[in-house]
Structure 1
Amino acid sequence: MKTKPPSGSPGNRLDTLTALVHTLGDPLPVTLGETCDAPGLPVTHLSPDSGLRPGLHVDGHQNLPYGAIDSARRRLCVNLGPGSRYLLLADTDIKSIRRTVHDRYESHHPRTADLRLYVTLRRPLQVLRLRVDPGEGWFAPTAVLPYDESTEGQELPSATSSWFGHWDRGVFGPLI
């Protein structure tokens, strides 16, 4: 269930984040907007077509073919709070999955359906669960790496703001 963003969220915080996004190198980042998720959700992505929560998925907004998927925009997502959340990130990229489940993979567009088939065939897939506290964020190629978010085990709702952009690798230094 989606909830309203936390009351009292300072508007200038989003203005500051938007200004930061514009300094990362893409002159035309795509604002994906804000969401607010109730606590206790195993996955947060809500499919607009069905109203269901499909779980791990790849972003298909850019509708890129197999050969161009590495050039897809990357997603920046910031947790606005008040609660924490988790990034769920698969250890296998959609191109590898596509090659495993289809013979003629080069001429097609990798989709979440490929991930479903991969799992149905009982191919190995591990998922990392990374905690993202309020004020923290993540930066990932979500057209390539299957992902979702979760508020499972949390007591407070968690709002996010997200953008797509063509940002160079190395904009931020190494995290480890």
Structure 2
Amino acid sequence: MPLHVAFTDQDALRARCNFATTRTVSGVPAFEDGAVVPSGQWQPLSDAAAQALTAPPLTSPITLVEIVRPPAPTGENLEDLTQQMGDGQAKYLGQALAKPDMLTSTDNYQDGRLIGLHLDNWDKLNYGQKATGRRRLALNLGPGTRYILLGALDAQAVCRAVHPEDYAYRYPSTDDYRAHVAAGHPIRCVRIRLAPGEGYIAPTEYLLHDGSTEGQDQPSAMAFWLGRWPRGTLPSLI
């Protein structure tokens, strides 16, 4: 399934969303060689592009992106929010701080280089199971605004394109996306703005993604949970 976003107000979606194509980087010290990043030529979301993001009525919540307002933390222990989020079994993953004006925000903990747009692999799913993983819930703790970046082509489609002979036996990965884009097949990247107190629920095992503070002059911390939320569990912002 391609990128689908749950929304009822197209104007609200377009007000916080734009898109660009992607490219790979090489020889840039801050990034891993081959990392996939937005081209930087951000465009407004047209009516047609917004319609393309519309989730069909029977779209599984497992592959759906929701832009939401999670409950506000009242203390220091963010794990306590789990019971208020609609999945008491959700796992708190911790926080990540992004400095101001970062094109992408996730680094390789081994050497500190940015990995660019990527797939998560918490559930370690093969090709046939890749669309069944848990979704990630994220809450922007501020102080700055940030973005969620999402690739419009899903992991199974990219795996089939890169490994046409044996895709059914593969484990779709970030490297598949890197090979696909490097071969001259740029993927559309959608950028959605998140103010402090706002968040998303997204299938980060299934869609290319990362955080960004591009153009922002304040850092931003994000808290993350992994779980299974029915559609509409948290109030939608769009």
- TM-score between the two structures when normalised by the length of structure 2: 0.64
1:119 paired to 2:181: yes
Residue 146 and residue 22 in structure 1: after superposition, are their counterparts in 2 closer, same or farther (change >3 A)? same
User: Which residue, 140, 145, 168 being the options, matches 2:230?
Assistant: 168
Q: Hey, what does 1:149 align to over in structure 2?
A: 211
Give the counterpart of 1:30 among 86, 91, 109. 91
The one-letter code sitting in structure 2 at the alignment partner of 1:128 is V
Deviations 1:45-64 (A, max 9, x none): 11223321011001012211
Map of 2:152 onto structure 1:
91
1-side partners of 2:218 and 2:237: how far apart? 27
Measure the CA separation in 1 of the matches of 2:177 and 2:146: 23
1:109 alignment partner, one of 165, 171, 180? 171
C-alpha separation in 2, matches of 1:174 and 1:84: 18
Residue 173 of structure 1 deviates from its aligned partner by 6.5
What is the 5 A alignment of 1:70-85? 70-85=131-146
Unaligned 5+ segments in structure 2 are: 1-29, 31-71
Report the counterpart of residue 114 of structure 2 in structure 1. 53
Q: Which has the higher contact order (CA 8 A, sep 6+)?
A: 1
Measured after TM superposition, the shift of residue 29 of structure 1 is 1.1
**SS of the residue 2:168 aligns to:** coil
Identity of aligned residues (%): 39
Residue 130 of structure 1: how far off its partner (Å): 0.9
- Aligned partner letter, 2:159: R
Q: Deviations over 1:78-98 (max 9, x none)?
A: 100000111111111111111
| Aligned residue in 2 for 1:132 | 194
Q: Does 1:158 align with 2:220?
A: yes
Q: Report deviation, 1:19.
A: 4.4
What is the aligned partner in structure 1 of residue 13 from structure 2? none
- When structure 1 is superposed on structure 2, of 29-38 and 156-165 the one drifting more is 29-38
Alpha-carbon RMSD across the aligned residues, in angstroms, is 2.2
**What is the CA distance between 1:14 and its match in structure 2?**
5.2
CA 1:31–1:13 in structure 2 vs 1: closer, same or farther (change >3 Å)? same
Query: What is the identity, as a one-letter code, of the residue corresponding to 2:105?
Result: T
Q: CA deviation at 1:172?
A: 4.2
Amino acid at match of 1:164: L
C-alpha distance in 1 between matches for 2:95 and 2:117: 20
Number of equivalent positions = 167
Q: Which runs of 5+ in 1 are unaligned?
A: 2-9
